[in-house]
Amino acid sequence: MKTVVVGMSGGVDSSVSALLLKQQGYNVIGLFMKNWEEEGPCKATSEFEDVVRVCQLLDIPYYSVNFVEEYRESVFSQFVADYQAGLTPNPDILCNREIKFKVFLEKALSLGADFLATGHYCRLDDESRLLRGLDPNKDQSYFLHAVKQEAFRKVLFPIGHLEKSEVRNLARQHNLATAEKKDSTGICFIGKRDFRPFLSQYIALKPGNFETLDGTIVGKHDGAAFYTLGQRKGMGLGGEGDAWYVVGKDAARNVVFVERGANHPALFSSALQGRDFTWVAEEPTYPLRCTAKVRYRQVDTPCTLFESGIVEFDEPQRAVTAGQSVVFYQNDLCLGGAVIQNTLH
């Protein structure tokens, strides 16, 4: 009998993953990760209590592991550094590569497991290459594009072929404690926060100017790190005319550039320069015709990737943001991706 360690988060997706694997005849072990520590009531405590309830109902053993130090060193420190540099990072991608499918996978295998399973909405083909989840509204391959094929050879995604509604129904049918639990949101393993006071604990923020592209000062901001390309709310800018949108930042000058109108030309890019490319399997040949996403849940857009790392879009894309990731696909196959270094108009 094969042994599978299921990464149990205290949510419905990992709970149903454990249920399905047990039904399929695997020897299932539940393993909970604690990756964040702070004073006061701890969200991880309540999450682990839900893990215990589910594992007891399924009659499977459960354990907890602490990766707080690894998370701070490998994920959170980079997250803070990127914001200090004026970027808008995506810590979920780094967390999957460095924590879930590296140190957590190693821990699962050290317990004698044949596989690690998680509740991600994605699939693997026969060669352990990454495929989209079948539910287009929940597909999470975007966040897993930086994980290597070698790691995926020891991974199972039990719910990747299901829609979210089916997962909920399975949880209800089997009386799982997490059946009606809302999906987690916010920063990976830290959760949803009041972002400004949270970030200000780690970054020295200083007020600066909102400027139009011609240099006109139109207001004051609390700190450039709080703002991202395409943002409309939370700036305190008014006056007659269309709403103001963030169209750029100058970290060196601590300036946030704004212009009026949701479709201002400065919000659109015909190309981008990528860096830190990662490929799930082999690197493709260039130029590569494929589709790409520059944010989660975006509809794919056709593009051409060149060996220089430049990505040219067939149609200009709105709010392509430095620090986020561009992820490449050929049909359902997720090829890999890169960090967006800058945009090219």
Distance CA 142, CA 131 (A): 10
Q: Are 152 and 120 in contact (CB under 8 A)?
A: no
Q: Which two tokens mark 126?
A: 């026969």
Report residue 35: phi and psi, to 5°: -120, 0
Active-site residue, from 188, 290, 303, 334? 188
- In whole angstroms, give the CA distance from residue 115 to residue 109: 7
Q: Which residues contact 249 (CB under 8 A, 6 or more apart)?
A: 86, 224, 227, 229, 255, 256, 257
The sign one gets for the Cα dihedral 314, 310, 277, 321 is negative
- Which conformational region is residue 247 in: left (phi greater than 0), alpha (psi within -120 to 50 degrees), or beta? alpha
- Identify any residues that bridge with 66 across adjacent strands, giving them in sequence order: 34
The catalytic position among 55, 95, 290, 334 is 95
Local structure of residue 184 (DSSP, 8 states): P
* Known active-site residue 188: yes
Distance of alpha carbon 143 from alpha carbon 94, whole angstroms: 9
Give the residue numbers marked as catalytic: 95, 188
